[in-house]
Amino acid sequence: MTDPLSPPARFAGSEAQLHEAAAALIDGWSDFGAGDYLRGLDVLLHSMDYDPRWSAEGRQRGWMTMANVLAARGHAIRSMAQTPGWDSHAIKAPIIITGVPRTGTTALHKLLAVDPQFQGLQTWITGAPQPRPPRDSWEANPRFQRSVAELEARHREKPAALAAHAMAAEEVDECCLILRQGFVSNLYTCGWSAQSYDLWRREASEAHCYAHFERVLRLVGSNEPDKRWLLKNPGHVENLDALFAQFPDAKVIHTHRDPAKAIPSLCALLIGNHSLFEEGRVEERAWQMGLAETEKWARAIRRAEPVRQAHAGQVLDVVHTDFHGDPMGTVERIYAFAGLELSDQVRADMAVRIEEKPELAHGPHRYSLEDFGLSAGLVREAFGDYVARFDLMEKRA
């Protein structure tokens, strides 16, 4: 009998086995909700036969990544079935951070998350969506323990990832970890080569992913339905229309940085992830990645602009250098924009985090434009007038 957790000889056409594998991870539960995710899943599985050059271990890891994402979706559907009234409260005026990746979204998100008036999506919850239990119960929760163990293993295997993007099971994380459960997501290009899938994804609608995302937020926050949501995901900048369609009263914080800094930083993070799945072709993959990520995020900025204009009063711009030069000044602007009160205690707690600089605790994240076949001029040209419009050129003494 075939073990569903072992990868098939061909990924294309393996949907039934993948669903069986996902069900095995969630105690046999086999309801994964509406079938709107199936088309994206099919395209992605076909891509997995064509685009990556898997290592033996990477092939197994890729299959289990897919099984775990589908299992997380099933876990959410099961939790909804088992939680009466989970959807009885709407999500009101969420605060949502977005921007091209590596523009300070994570640092800003985790700084604001110091404030207990917010609720967020903790990393472990994204893998097992459920009504968020009390904080003092997490350590005894098997799903939390599993998330801790997985992250520790990942950091042991790839310690450089800590400097680039540290993750912790108990800390807030990105919305994309829920959105990818709809299988139309740029996140699938972050682990392994998926060019053919990404060409399809660029023209596919993510509306059903955002509908699922909104339902999961209601579920997770159902024990504290009146608590304000604080969310973050760079990918939202590519889908501001879908975001505002689902959350019409959202307050969006749009972060900005010179793309000639942000894009190579992103690529250095992604190429490190790829080494967990693929072997060989490192220079070839790096150059393809440099061009693809430049165009992807330049296109996202172009797509975002008319939506920003249509929701001008709901978008606050934060420039990377301004945030790092005066983080508390940026926080004060955000609180005024969102109509929030910044208490003395929260101000003091934020000052401690700023002083401790936890984002730098694991050493510097090193990257180079040249490693990805890029130049500053090429990247900035792709972004058109964006750099000048937000005055993103860093001024050095």
Residue ranges and CATH numbers for the domains of the chain are: 15-389 (3.40.50.300)
Residue 159 has pLDDT above 80, yes or no: no
CB contact at 8 A, 167 and 123: yes
Residue 368 has pLDDT above 70, yes or no: yes
Q: How far is CA 328 from CA 226, 228, 324, 356, in A?
A: 26, 20, 9, 14
The model's pLDDT over 173-202, given as tens digits with 9 standing for 90+, comes to 999 999 999 999 999 999 999 999 999 999
Residue 358: predicted pLDDT: 74
Quote the CA–CA distance of 182 and 70 in Å, as a whole number.
9
Q: How far is CA 364 from CA 87, 111, 358, 375, in A?
A: 43, 19, 12, 21
Question: Higher model confidence: residue 157 or residue 241?
Answer: 241
Report the percentage of the chain scoring pLDDT > 70.
94
Residue 280: predicted pLDDT: 85
Q: Among 127-136, 161-170, 346-355, which is the least confidently predicted range?
A: 161-170
Q: How confident is the model at residue 170 (pLDDT cuts 50, 70, 90)?
A: confident
Residue 397 has pLDDT above 50, yes or no: no
Q: Which residues neighbour 376 within 8 Å (Cβ) at sequence distance 6 or greater?
A: 260, 369
3-state secondary structure of 362: coil
Average pLDDT, the chain: 93
Residue 363: predicted pLDDT: 56
Quote the CA–CA distance of 169 and 189 in Å, as a whole number.
23
Region 245-273: mean pLDDT is 96
Residue 151: predicted pLDDT: 83
Residue 167: predicted pLDDT: 64
Q: Among 74-78, 121-125, 143-147, 334-338, which is the least confidently predicted range?
A: 143-147
Quote the strand ranges of 130-275, DSSP E: 228-232, 251-256
Question: Higher model confidence: residue 19 or residue 394?
Answer: 19
Using CA of residue 191, residue 197, residue 203, residue 208, what is the dihedral sign?
negative
Closest CA to 374 of 304, 291, 314: 291
Residue 156: predicted pLDDT: 74
Residue 162: predicted pLDDT: 45
Question: For the CA atoms of the chain, what is the radius of gyration?
Answer: 20
Residue 165: predicted pLDDT: 47
Report the percentage of the chain scoring pLDDT > 90.
86
Amino acid 142 reads P
Q: What angle do CA 207, 226, 228 make, to 5 degrees?
A: 65
The model's pLDDT over 220-240, given as tens digits with 9 standing for 90+, comes to 999 999 999 999 999 999 999
Residue 329: predicted pLDDT: 97
Residue 152: predicted pLDDT: 86
pTM of the model: 0.94
Residue 24: predicted pLDDT: 97
Q: How confident is the model at residue 2 (pLDDT cuts 50, 70, 90)?
A: confident
Residue 391: predicted pLDDT: 94
The model's pLDDT over 339-362, given as tens digits with 9 standing for 90+, comes to 999 999 999 999 999 998 877 655
Question: Higher model confidence: residue 366 or residue 37?
Answer: 37
Residue 361: predicted pLDDT: 59
Region 99-121: mean pLDDT is 96
The model's pLDDT over 17-62, given as tens digits with 9 standing for 90+, comes to 999 999 999 999 999 999 999 999 999 999 999 999 999 999 999 9
- Taking phi first (over 0 means left), then psi (-120 to 50 degrees means alpha), and beta for anything else, what does residue 226 get? alpha
Residue 163 has pLDDT above 50, yes or no: no
Residue 327 has pLDDT above 90, yes or no: yes
